[in-house]
């Protein structure tokens, strides 16, 4: 069995249908090699200097990770706020919210010798699981080629439909998602997945972004983790997903001294209004 695989210019409806079928799907050649190469080049120094700081049993011990990639790689904005990716997310998440947010923004470089990551659901950060209600979706972007040998992400297809809480067992199918650089693996927050073991001689590098319903707390506080002057230079649709927005005109409210819905001075006087939906 293989995951559904669609070309980068596939109709959005086909991508969404494929994701709903298995809980995950690959879109090939979704971003140019130039952007993927640039992001990986931007991350080289952070990977090497701080990439081991999150080592643990879950993240692994021969895997490098860096968070808040938007702060480290301006080119990553082309991935984080990729327009066609967002059209897919609109279809998956907007049935349950008025706008969605970026949960996390993490680059992962799995090095040779790493074992399989434990299979998990990303949405277990939230203490509810309501079948049919998707709390978040994730998009893993290949910054270099993902192969069976170098640790392509593993997915348990159909696990987003499991009603009773349980862990994957020996009888459950686990499939890998090899994909070429610039391709993206979409998977629902409710689908079991995990990084693969790297049995090759080279590293596997990916950028994984999660997107949660706009009325949920984000996994990472991007307003604090990305300096305001960096955020001010990002496109507005990314600022909104970072949290510079109100959900439903109310959630995320920041009272100003004069009691009005906030707008604030940023970056040498440029007005940055908090956006309502």
Ligand X SMILES: O=C(O)CCC(=O)C(=O)O
Binding site for ligand X (CB under 6 A): 108, 117, 140, 153, 193-195, 206
Q: Identify which of residues 47 and 274 has a Cβ nearer to ligand X in the complex.
A: 47
**Beta carbon of residue 149, minimum distance to ligand X (angstroms, whole number):** 14
Distance CA 162, CA 191 (A): 9
**Beta carbon of residue 108, minimum distance to ligand X (angstroms, whole number):** 4
180: left (phi over 0), alpha (psi -120 to 50) or beta: beta
Residue sitting closest to ligand X (CB): 195
**Beta carbon of residue 60, minimum distance to ligand X (angstroms, whole number):** 9
Distance CA 175, CA 162 (A): 17
How wide is the angle at C-alpha 104 spanned by C-alphas 195 and 11, nearest 5°?
75
Q: Identify which of residues 71 and 109 has a Cβ nearer to ligand X in the complex.
A: 109
Q: Identify which of residues 85 and 108 has a Cβ nearer to ligand X in the complex.
A: 108
**Beta carbon of residue 65, minimum distance to ligand X (angstroms, whole number):** 8
**Beta carbon of residue 117, minimum distance to ligand X (angstroms, whole number):** 6
**Beta carbon of residue 119, minimum distance to ligand X (angstroms, whole number):** 9
**Beta carbon of residue 185, minimum distance to ligand X (angstroms, whole number):** 8
Q: Identify which of residues 73 and 198 has a Cβ nearer to ligand X in the complex.
A: 198
Q: Identify which of residues 5 and 237 has a Cβ nearer to ligand X in the complex.
A: 5
Q: Identify which of residues 136 and 239 has a Cβ nearer to ligand X in the complex.
A: 136
Q: Identify which of residues 78 and 103 has a Cβ nearer to ligand X in the complex.
A: 103
> Within 10 Å of residue 237's Cβ, how many Cβ atoms?
15
**Beta carbon of residue 208, minimum distance to ligand X (angstroms, whole number):** 6
> Please, which residues have CB within 8 angstroms of residue 204's CB and are 6 or more apart in sequence?
109, 110, 144, 146, 147, 150, 151, 152, 196, 198
């Amino acid at each position: 069995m293989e995951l559904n695989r669609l070309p980068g210019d596939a109709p959005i409806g086909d991508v969404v249908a494929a994701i709903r079928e298995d809980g995950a799907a690959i879109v090939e050649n979704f971003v140019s090699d130039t952007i993927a190469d640039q992001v990986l080049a931007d991350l080289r120094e952070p990977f090497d200097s701080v990439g081991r700081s999150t080592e643990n049993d879950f993240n692994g011990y021969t895997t490098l990770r860096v968070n808040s990639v938007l702060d480290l790689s301006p080119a990553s904005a082309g991935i984080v706020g990729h327009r066609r990716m967002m059209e897919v997310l609109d279809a998956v998440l907007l049935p349950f919210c008025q706008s969605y947010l970026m949960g996390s923004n993490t680059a992962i470089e799995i090095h040779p010798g790493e074992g399989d990551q434990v299979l998990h659901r990303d949405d277990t950060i939230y203490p509810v699981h309501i079948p049919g209600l998707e709390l978040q979706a994730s998009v893993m972007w290949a910054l270099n080629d993902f192969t069976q040998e170098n640790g392509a992400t593993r997915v348990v297809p159909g696990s987003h439909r499991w009603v009773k809480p349980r862990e994957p067992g020996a009888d459950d199918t686990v499939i890998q998602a090899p994909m070429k650089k610039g391709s993206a693996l979409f998977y629902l927050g409710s689908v079991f997945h995990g990084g693969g073991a790297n049995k090759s001689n080279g590293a596997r590098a990916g950028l994984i972004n999660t997107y949660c319903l706009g009325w949920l707390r984000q996994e990472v506080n991007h307003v604090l983790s990305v300096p305001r002057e960096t955020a001010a230079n990002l496109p507005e649709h990314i600022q909104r997903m970072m949290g510079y927005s109100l959900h439903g005109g109310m959630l995320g409210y920041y009272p100003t001294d004069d009691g009005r819905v906030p707008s604030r001075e940023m970056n040498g006087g440029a007005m940055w209004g908090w956006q309502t939906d």
